[in-house]
Structure 1
């Protein structure tokens, strides 16, 4: 289903106040009126002092933000809604420092908002399974440190990447940060992100041989000058990922890397509907279960 596009001025007009955001949330959650999540009763009393609805039958009290990403948050909805817009309005994403200035919160609060939204994005894309011809490779991401480069370099986190090859274009993509590129990690990645018995191309790395068990796997040891012919799209994805991480965030630690991978994949998989992304993220935040901070 096509989601409405969002311009800066339209977003400002639609969500210019806390009441606007609250009314939108009510409309999306209860389009025909309040429904009790416990007994499905449609009658309630509104406790205006806390903006909570009490079911007239079972007396369960339910807030408008219950069972959403906004659940339990003391951050005004208007700031949440604008964070969602700023996160989705630019190809290069947004840093916590920049967001903190735009919505006037401290860095930790901005970081928490972004973390919850990125986690929800990752959960959304985890529902999909890649199919058709799929390229799989690994990459190493992290800050610069002295010493060995590439595989096994200190301070870098290994990432498994899978991209659907659609001939002259790439299809959907999946990325997962792992402790090491080993049979166990590769097997888990394939089970999470691929349908069974797909045609899979890899570069012949021994750890990827486990893919034979569930897929139609073809591994080819390829000279560096020919690798882009065998695995063109996955290498483009790796290059774009590194530019994404360095351009906006100037590098990412391994602890939070999966959040950024989730955002990158979410954007990549919806690159043809870029102007819809803010509204898609808003809908996702409303239907997604609460994301607990850590």
Structure 2
């Protein structure tokens, strides 16, 4: 038996032989194609999906319990307890020195907000909770926006449109036809139609065997060629839309928290997606 290069332990002729014929067809026509390292086999996909069950459950648990008067540290404690009970780990904790198990970004915080006992959720806040869970060496990543109490119509609309923009990016995923850059173009177009700007400093990314892998998934139309989208790719789409201008800055006191320059609101949604022969599957949300 000629084992397939993907590590599936299946014979190449029944696993990725036809896939490689398609890749070579596009390569010969000058299309930028993804390297084999971006392609997951079935065992890996099953492992990622198992991690996603935990990650989805964690965000469900937070959604059921988040409330006015809770500190963002309470959310971190909830995260640690939930992951321990499910034999999983936070991929955020100690990642390049990040000190907590989850990210909590409120109002004008764009991303990477660090949980703190001093940050208390108030009526009218919007908060992004971003979780990445590792289970048995596989990773899944997602974030959700939560509206605390009675939020303004402006905040509610931003949260809604940001989620819709992520799904516009998902609609651009067409196996063997579209490119990674098409995702960003669709997101940017939808955001601008609705009067919002798109943060360009952060992106979606491949995921599965590690927390961050290729490809780099733009949330705006890139000025470069991007790889063809093909079955077996697993990546996140996680646009950050700002109420005002797209400009952001880093809090140099903690080297993590990112704010809007103008102090206006920001929102983010993130799912992990699997590209299939027929289209796309949401794995973690």
TM-score, normalized by length of structure 1? 0.25
Higher RCO (CA < 8 A, seq sep 6+): 1
Rg larger for: 1
- Please state which structure has a larger fraction of its residues in helix: 1
- Please state which structure has a larger fraction of its residues in strand: 2
TM-score, normalized by length of structure 2? 0.25
